[in-house]
């Protein structure tokens, strides 16, 4: 056997054992890309996508006497509008939306379970989603179902195409926003 043949045979054996540089790294890069996409998707789903993105700034609804009044037409698009009512050092947050069944509904931006996290709810289509635990609630259940992680109901009525909420009812939700009581 010639030296060239021996060298070629050893090179082939070495390539078989150690792998050759001509091997494609495409599967490695594809795997890393998939891992990155899955990680980003998981992050989005469990944080931003599950509505833990920053809380939308709350508007201040006009208070007249002992009531808050808003034109019902402002909720025609079905999008939740967030409001805040300042009581001393505490801002009581709530939202109003027109649900899929055409009813204007209101709830505190908190629930009996997750309120200490102070994250509230975000809207995802026809659902309100807890920004803390990710639970999803149909808009048609706001004001209908209470307790647990459901948005805490806030009494409201519609009179002459105006949504009316009593300030005393808003103040009744103060406990959900007094974070000094976190246990």
4-17 pLDDT, tens digit per residue, is: 777 777 777 776 66
Q: Residue 50's pLDDT is what?
A: 37
Give the contacts of 154 (CB within 8 A, at least 6 positions apart): 94, 106, 107, 108, 143, 165, 169, 170, 173
pLDDT for 96: 95
Q: Per the structure block, which two tokens stand in for 73?
A: 């037409």
**What predicted TM-score, i.e. pTM, was given to this entire model?**
0.67
The per-residue pLDDT for 63 is 73
Phi, psi of 121 (to 5 degrees): -125, 155
pLDDT of residue 147: 82
Q: What confidence tens digit (pLDDT) does each residue in 123-151 have?
A: 999 999 999 999 999 999 998 888 888 89
Instruction: Give tens-digit pLDDT for 37-77.
Output: 455 544 444 443 334 344 555 666 767 789 899 999 999 99
- Is residue 75 within 8 A of residue 60, CB to CB? The reply is no
Mean pLDDT for all residues in the chain: 79
Higher pLDDT, 64 or 170: 170
């Amino acid at each position: 056997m010639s030296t060239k043949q021996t060298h070629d045979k050893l090179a082939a054996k070495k390539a078989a054992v150690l792998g050759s540089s001509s091997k494609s790294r495409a599967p490695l890069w594809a795997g890393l890309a998939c891992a990155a996409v899955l990680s980003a998707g998981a992050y989005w789903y469990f944080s931003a996508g599950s509505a833990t993105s920053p809380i939308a700034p709350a508007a201040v609804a006009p208070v007249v006497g002992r009531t808050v009044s808003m034109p019902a037409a402002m909720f025609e698009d079905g999008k939740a509008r967030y409001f805040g009512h300042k009581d001393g050092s505490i801002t009581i947050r709530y939202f109003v939306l027109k649900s899929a069944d055409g009813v204007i509904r209101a709830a505190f931006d908190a629930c009996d379970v997750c309120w200490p996290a102070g994250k509230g709810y975000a809207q995802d289509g026809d659902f309100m989603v807890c920004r803390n635990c990710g639970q999803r609630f149909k808009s048609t259940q706001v004001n209908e179902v209470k307790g647990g992680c459901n948005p805490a109901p806030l009494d409201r009525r519609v009179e002459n195409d105006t949504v009316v909420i009593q300030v005393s009812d808003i103040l009744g939700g103060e406990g959900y926003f007094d974070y000094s009581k976190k246990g």
